[in-house]
């Protein structure tokens, strides 16, 4: 019988750098800022950390493919550090592994760091690492997601105006967030008239590549009260991996992502959630493109398939709606330094649950959900956090 994470692991510290074009910081310097900041927030020192997990997808020159980057940056030599790389779910998967290690009784206090530096590169966007010699030649992330978006729009009769509403909402939220890459509101007209990247996506439908780092300190729940009065507990988590070659699977309908649905069901079961629309107060989800957020509403169970357009049109995912989605501004405004994004979501959820989010604060936030979707929709991770009840 599997062991649940519910009520066994607490998050006692979080920190996040400013996301953006951080040309004045190296990857290691961002790790130091995030890692030491999370320790300060938890009221501990780096010496108190027994183990760490580093989430980084493409660390680039000088970043290394091992965890010595974090060991050198934070002087954590002699302790176990594990590097996690799992497409865009890298950060949340690193967090999931750290939480599981505490629940298993291996450690009492651990650190998770997500970090990525994508702006100091010769390539534009994310460099493709193809898995098919012909079908993926020259493909890009906008191009791949645009194929699914067009299929969805054709099937359910939606148009680009629906996508624009997601961009407008998330830019408005990001304008309230001092750590976001973009802190500027946009209008629906600006979104619709922007340069087309891969139809139906224009410039404002795509998240930017970004530099950034975030960190979290996890602790055994029964020890957490020594460090903080308010307890933020890990309620559940889920990870699902589907085929990386959906174009070879005739059952794939390109109307959503089964990996998200499967990961969510795992997390909901562990957290005891039977009706997310009633039991989850807000979500940080993977809006790499505006259409992706719409299908996330459906794949996570907040509305039925094909009803995502109405969900955004009725304002249900707005900051004052039924279930606010991406109150931080999402990937759309925050940017997407791949390994850092999931941990940044954890930072946002903890900040919201503490009631410390300022102008973007979700009213009466008790339970929050973080979701990442990676690769060709093949990998998804969901983490649910909640205040101690």
301 pLDDT more than 70: yes
What span, in angstroms and rounded, lies between the C-alpha atoms of 77 and 79?
6
Q: Of 195, 132, 44, 101, which is closest to residue 375 (Cα–Cα)?
A: 132
Residue 245, SS3 per DSSP: coil
Which whole number is the average pLDDT over 203-211?
96
Task: Report DSSP state, residue 362.
Answer: P
With H, G, I as helix, E, B as strand and everything else as coil, classify residue 171. Answer: helix
Active site residue 132: no
Q: Which of 88, 206, 219, 288 is catalytic?
A: 88
Q: What is the pLDDT of residue 123?
A: 61
pLDDT band at 310 (very low <50, low <70, confident <90, very high): very high
Report the sign of the C-alpha dihedral through residues 381, 386, 388, 389, in that order.
negative
What DSSP state is assigned to residue 119? S
Distance CA 287, CA 292 (A): 5
The full set of domain ranges for the chain reads 9-121+207-387
CB 385 within 8 A of CB 353: yes
The residue among 388 and 263 whose pLDDT is bigger is 263
Residue 375: pLDDT band with limits 50, 70, 90: confident
Quote the CA–CA distance of 94 and 215 in Å, as a whole number.
Answer: 11
Digit-coded pLDDT (tens) for 155-205: 999 999 999 999 999 999 999 999 999 999 999 999 999 999 999 999 999
Q: Is the pLDDT of residue 332 over 90?
A: yes
- Measured between alpha carbons, how far is 86 from 379 in angstroms, rounded to an integer? 7
| Among 60-74, 159-173, 213-227, 300-314, the least confident range | 60-74
pLDDT confidence bin for 139, thresholds 50/70/90: confident
Contact by Cβ (8 Å): 222, 378:
no
Question: Angle 160-174/290-299 helices, nearest 10 degrees?
Answer: 90
Q: CATH fold of 9-121+207-387, please?
A: Peroxisomal Thiolase; Chain A, domain 1 (3.40.47)
Q: Strands 9-16 and 232-241, how do they pair? A: antiparallel
pLDDT for residue 32 is more than 60: yes
Burial of 188 (C-beta count, 10 Å sphere; 0-12/13-18/19+): middle
Query: Which residues is 53 bridged to in the sheet?
Result: 82, 112
Residue 243's pLDDT is 86
Banded pLDDT at 124 (limits 50, 70, 90): low
* 134 three-class SS: coil
Tell me if 231 sits within 8 A of 220, measured CB to CB.
Answer: no
**Using CA atoms, how far apart are residues 163 and 186, in angstroms rounded to an integer?**
13
Identify the pLDDT of residue 7: 83
Band of residue 122 on the pLDDT scale cut at 50, 70, 90: low
Distances, alpha carbon 297 to alpha carbons 24, 83, 286, 304, 315, in Å: 37, 30, 11, 8, 13
The pLDDT-based confidence of 64 (bands split at 50, 70, 90) is low
Looking at residue 251, its pLDDT comes to: 85
| CB 28, CB 253: distance < 8 Å | no
Q: What is the mean pLDDT of residues 334-339?
A: 95
pLDDT for position 52: 98
Contact at 8 Å (CB) between 355 and 365? yes
- The model carries a pTM of 0.95
The pLDDT-based confidence of 303 (bands split at 50, 70, 90) is very high
% of the chain with per-residue pLDDT over 90: 84
Higher pLDDT, 16 or 141: 16
Residue 336 catalytic?
yes
pLDDT attached to residue 248: 76
pLDDT more than 70, % of the chain: 94
Residue 239: enclosing H or E segment and its boundaries?
Answer: strand 232-241
Peptide bond into 15 cis (omega under 30): no
Question: What are the angstrom distances between the C-alpha of 389 and each of 98, 225, 231, 232, 386?
Answer: 23, 14, 9, 10, 8
> Which position among 171, 181, 286, 336 bears the catalytic label?
336
Q: State residue 271's pLDDT score.
A: 97
């Amino acid at each position: 019988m599997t062991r649940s994470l519910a009520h066994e692991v607490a998050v006692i510290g979080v920190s996040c750098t400013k996301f953006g074009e951080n040309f004045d910081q190296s990857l290691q310097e961002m790790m130091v800022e995030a890692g030491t900041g999370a320790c300060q927030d938890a009221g501990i020192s780096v010496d108190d950390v027994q183990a760490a997990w580093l989430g980084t997808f493409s660390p680039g020159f000088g970043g290394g493919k091992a965890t010595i980057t974090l060991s050198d940056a934070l002087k954590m030599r002699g302790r176990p550090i594990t590097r996690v790389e799992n497409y865009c779910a890298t950060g949340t998967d690193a967090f999931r592994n750290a939480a599981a290690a505490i629940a298993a009784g291996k450690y009492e206090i651990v650190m998770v760091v997500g970090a990525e530096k994508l702006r100091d590169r010769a390539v534009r966007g994310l460099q493709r690492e193809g898995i098919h010699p012909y079908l993926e030649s020259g493909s890009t992330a906008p191009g791949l997601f645009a194929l699914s978006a067009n299929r969805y729009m054709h099937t359910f009769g939606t148009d680009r105006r629906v996508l624009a509403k997601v961009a407008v909402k998330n830019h408005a939220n990001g304008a309230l967030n001092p750590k976001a890459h973009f802190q500027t509101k946009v209008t629906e007209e600006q979104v619709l008239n922007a340069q087309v990247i891969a139809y139906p996506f224009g410039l404002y439908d795509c998240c930017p590549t970004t530099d950034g780092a975030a960190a979290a300190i996890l602790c055994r729940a029964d020890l957490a009260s020594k460090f903080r009065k308010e307890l933020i507990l890990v309620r559940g988590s889920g990870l699902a991996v589907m085929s990386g070659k959906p174009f070879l699977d005739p059952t794939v309908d390109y109307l959503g992502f089964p990996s998200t649905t499967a990961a969510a069901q795992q997390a909901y079961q562990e957290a005891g959630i039977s009706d997310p629309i009633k039991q989850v107060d807000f979500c940080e989800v993977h809006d790499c493109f505006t259409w992706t957020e719409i299908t996330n509403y459906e794949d996570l169970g907040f509305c039925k398939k094909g009803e995502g357009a109405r969900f955004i049109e009725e304002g249900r995912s707005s900051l004052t709606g039924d279930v606010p989605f991406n109150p931080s501004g999402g990937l759309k405004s925050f940017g997407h330094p791949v390994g850092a994004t999931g941990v940044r979501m954890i930072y946002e959820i903890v900040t919201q649950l503490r009631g410390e989010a300022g102008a973007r604060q979700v009213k009466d936030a008790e339970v929050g959900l973080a979701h990442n979707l990676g690769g060709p929709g093949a990998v998804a991770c969901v983490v649910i956090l909640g205040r101690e009840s």
